[in-house]
Structure 1
Amino acid sequence: MATVIIGGGIIGASTAYYLTNDTSVHKSQPVHVIESSSQPFSAASGYAGGFLARDWFSSATAALGALSFDLHKKLAEEHGGAEKWGYMESIALNLDVSEHAKRRGGSRGDDWLRVGTSRADAASKSHEAQISPLDSAPAWLTKQQYGHVEVISNPGTVAQVDPRRLCEFLKDITIERGVRWHAPVRVLSVRKDSETNAIEGVVVLNSESQTESFIPCKNIVICAGPWTQSVFEALFPSSSLRLRVSPLAGYSLVIRSPRHSLVQEQQTYQGRSHAIFTTHPRDCGFSPELFSRHGGEIYIAGLNSSTIPLPSQAEESKEIMDREKIQDLKRVAVRLMGKLTEGHNESSADVPNEDDLEVLREGLCFRPVTDTGRPIVSRVPDNALGSGLKSDTSAPGRERGGVFIATGHGPWGISQSLGTGRVMADLVDGIKPSVNIDALQL
């Protein structure tokens, strides 16, 4: 029986991938992906940093994080991910810029990423002796007075991808398998059987032609990021379920630096990425994060806001982008990656830097966050749908039908994407999830 996935970002693409993978006994059954945006991957899936971690998570999401990291590695090995979507092994570093950096303590640049995670204390203790001069940092990171870096990742436990290219790969391969992608299309309502109250399908509207059509299905997977709550309310207006998912906006830049070339990427760093977390400069008001990515690119972000209203469509983010915020991020990029002004060096009390960086792309995207800080990866109980909707509990596998939700991954959407897709496919197929997700259930 057909499955409709609402949300064509990386979670939706991953779910479609595993619903049609050779490991699924129902791989030949129809799958539809509904995306409301006219521009593919114009939300966080296309503008996120693409940092992957295996063991930076709390107990609630530790198993999902590890599964997803391993699936990222496996997918890259099987399909040439290094070239197709820039999969690279990485090393995570904390940049501490203070006169007393060697004494430890104080804030770290990755703190906002690690809230509630088990890596917070483990990383700082296991790498106590690895504080090193900034000379060990990548050449594209400008030397700062009192600057020191420490390794905060274990070998083989962090990696890097270009999320947009990964999404494009997942879309292409699922189309080859017969998945139908519909865009720009909105789901208007759910149609149910008048006798059994089971889901019969969904009514959708093509935003360009303004024509309605009906897609028969028994399963509905909602993974629309920060728009998930509004989608659920529109489809199930009589439901009292509130997901409490809110948008966290984040600005980003993709930059090219004269101090980071393809030759350095392949020879000096042997195809390895660097992830830099820092609270410097302290007067910028946020904690910058920088990731070198395949092709000699460097991604910088960390300037976030929970007060920017969520646009109705992802592509509208460009219209509400605050130019001053972009300039703030650019100034920090120059401070951290710019060329040292002639006559100054890293031992200077104040290090002015020249702007010789090329901005390739500016971005503003919205990530879904929950009140608990944990994602929601769950089947929706029938009694929470309203209108008497119910699944066929006597039917096997996808024939049972039902509604499923995957959202609220916050800054970890790319890292946990493949694992979430695998688990969602398990739930739709009516089998035991690949890992324990009890703490992520509704």
Structure 2
Amino acid sequence: MHRLQNNDHIVIVGGGSIGLCTAYNLAKRSSDSSPQIRITVIEVGTEPFKAASSSCTGCFHYGFTEPQLHSLLPLGRYSFDLWEDEAKNVKFREDTGYRAQSSFGLNSGSGQGLDKLPDWVRKEMSWDVNSSVLGDRTATVWVYFIFCSFFFQATLLTTLYSNPPGVGKWLRSECLRNGVEIRTDLKVVGAKLLNDNEVQEVVCLKNGQHTIRIECKQLLLACGPWTPTVYEMLFPSSPIRLQWTTDAGDWISFENPCPTTRDTTAFVSFANLVGEKLEFAARNDGTIWACGRRNFTATLPPPNQHNEPDLKLIEELSDYAKDWLNWNCDCDKTHDIDFQLRSTGRAFRPATKSGLPIISEVSPLDLVGDL
């Protein structure tokens, strides 16, 4: 691993949750050095946190239900502890809607634990509530992630977490406060290497027209599902080929029928009841976000472009919401319209065929291979 020096310039490609979280932790790590390490985040969109980072459930958790992910437990716990430490700050909790021990799963049963559910979920006596569906320690905000990225001539930090808008705004603010430069509307199109194959600079296009060159000592690709494409474009001679797969989810966002309180923020999984992915997450902005079954055949659009969701699945999600959420809650709020859909969309997660994230340093030799 290359040891960071005070005059190093680190460029992070990707301004989503992975990129901003890494920038934030690196900036904190270098805050006591003089001069501080320079960190620049490059984002192809008009603002950071716009892809899957803004369209996900919002869960911090220790546990992984998939057997192939058990090896990630130390990483997940490390990440959880980082966020839990941030949650000691009142402003962080207020900005993100952070609420500990707020993830629940529903199973067929006899009504055990229904009192733990938030008011916006119906209480059916044929259900049991599992408070450890994502492990014994959880939290909800208004983003859930295992990220896949590469750090060249360096190391790499990893994270899992939640609340897209709240966490995104908080991360952006903290990055800027800690001296991180965030540059938007920049598309990385090339990389220049030194004679020993170490990265010297990245070449970008501003608004698709003007060429901008940014010198750097280390480079991190945190481009989510676009990471393999960007890597192969920057280093076409590299023998490394990522075994990627599609993992998309269609989602809806709608008005919470119940008043927004601290206890409103929660994650509820209906997966065991329906036999496939189905989850709802209420946020502290008065909305509920819902996602249905995973889509492994959707076509990944170019960066900064949207992919339309399946209208049939959107209708199915809406029907689940109407059937299983509490539209007649005991409150003073008048329900003039039972179901108020705000928005719909499709999000793509970084995903490998093994289900494991890719977290790796790439040596200079592996950037070009045997030429």
Equivalents in 2 of 1:233, 1:179: separation in Å?
27
Which of the numbers 277, 282, 285 marks the counterpart of 1:287? 277
TM-score computed with the length of structure 1 as normaliser: 0.69
Deviation track 1:42-85 (CA, whole Å, cap 9, x = no partner) reads 21111111111023374421111111111112112236122111
Equivalents in 2 of 1:93, 1:257: separation in Å?
18
CA RMSD of aligned residues (A): 2.8
> Tell me, which stretches of 5 or more residues in structure 2 are unaligned?
1-7, 142-162, 329-335
* Structure with bigger gyration radius: 1
The 8 Å contact of residues 30 and 37 in structure 2, kept in 1 or not, is answered as: no
Equivalents in 2 of 1:78, 1:170: separation in Å?
14
Q: 1:199 to 1:257 in 2, by over 3 A?
A: closer
Output the amino acid matched with 1:36: V
CA shift, 1:6, in A, is: 0.7
CA shift, 1:327, in A, is: 1.5
Q: 1:337 to 1:65 in 2, by over 3 A?
A: same
Equivalents in 1 of 2:39, 2:338: separation in Å?
48
Pairing 1:43–2:23 present: no
Equivalents in 2 of 1:155, 1:86: separation in Å?
20
Which stretch of structure 1 is more off in the superposition, 56-65 or 42-51?
56-65
The 8 Å contact of residues 303 and 329 in structure 1, kept in 2 or not, is answered as: no
CA shift, 1:234, in A, is: 0.5
TM-score computed with the length of structure 2 as normaliser: 0.81
Q: 1:227 to 1:149 in 2, by over 3 A?
A: same
Residue aligning to 2:198: 198
Deviation track 1:132-186 (CA, whole Å, cap 9, x = no partner) reads 1645533211244623323325997110111222122211221223222121111
Deviation track 1:11-44 (CA, whole Å, cap 9, x = no partner) reads 1001111121156665712111111123432211
Residue aligning to 1:16: 23
Residue aligning to 1:438: none
CA shift, 1:297, in A, is: 2.8
Residue aligning to 1:379: 361
Residue aligning to 2:150: none
The 8 Å contact of residues 197 and 388 in structure 1, kept in 2 or not, is answered as: no
Equivalents in 2 of 1:62, 1:23: separation in Å?
27
Pairing 1:276–2:239 present: no
CA shift, 1:382, in A, is: 2.5
Equivalents in 2 of 1:43, 1:25: separation in Å?
33
The 8 Å contact of residues 102 and 140 in structure 2, kept in 1 or not, is answered as: no
Deviation track 1:299-349 (CA, whole Å, cap 9, x = no partner) reads 2113320111000024423xx233332122111111111537xxxxxxxxx
Deviation track 1:384-422 (CA, whole Å, cap 9, x = no partner) reads 211679xxxxxxxxxxxxxxxxxxxxxxxxxxxxxxxxx
Q: 1:13 to 1:213 in 2, by over 3 A?
A: same
* Aligned positions of 1:1-80 closer than 5 A: 1-22=8-29, 28-56=36-64, 58-78=69-89, 80=91
Pairing 1:148–2:156 present: no
Equivalents in 2 of 1:197, 1:378: separation in Å?
17
Residue aligning to 1:215: 214
Pairing 1:337–2:336 present: no
The 8 Å contact of residues 250 and 310 in structure 2, kept in 1 or not, is answered as: no
The 8 Å contact of residues 199 and 218 in structure 1, kept in 2 or not, is answered as: yes
Equivalents in 2 of 1:314, 1:281: separation in Å?
35
* Aligned positions of 1:96-175 closer than 5 A: 96-97=107-108, 101=109, 132=112, 134=114, 136-144=116-124, 146-152=126-132, 157-161=137-141, 162-175=163-176
Q: 1:316 to 1:298 in 2, by over 3 A?
A: closer
* Aligned positions of 1:180-195 closer than 5 A: 180-193=181-194, 195=195
Deviation track 1:252-292 (CA, whole Å, cap 9, x = no partner) reads 2222233x212xx34xx4xx74322124764xx74311122
Q: 1:199 to 1:136 in 2, by over 3 A?
A: closer
Output the amino acid matched with 2:239: S
Deviation track 1:190-219 (CA, whole Å, cap 9, x = no partner) reads 1123x44432111111125x1001101110
Equivalents in 2 of 1:333, 1:19: separation in Å?
41
CA shift, 1:355, in A, is: 7.1
Equivalents in 1 of 2:29, 2:238: separation in Å?
36
Q: 1:156 to 1:73 in 2, by over 3 A?
A: farther
Residue aligning to 2:237: 238
Residue aligning to 1:310: 300
Residue aligning to 1:432: none
Q: 1:360 to 1:370 in 2, by over 3 A?
A: same
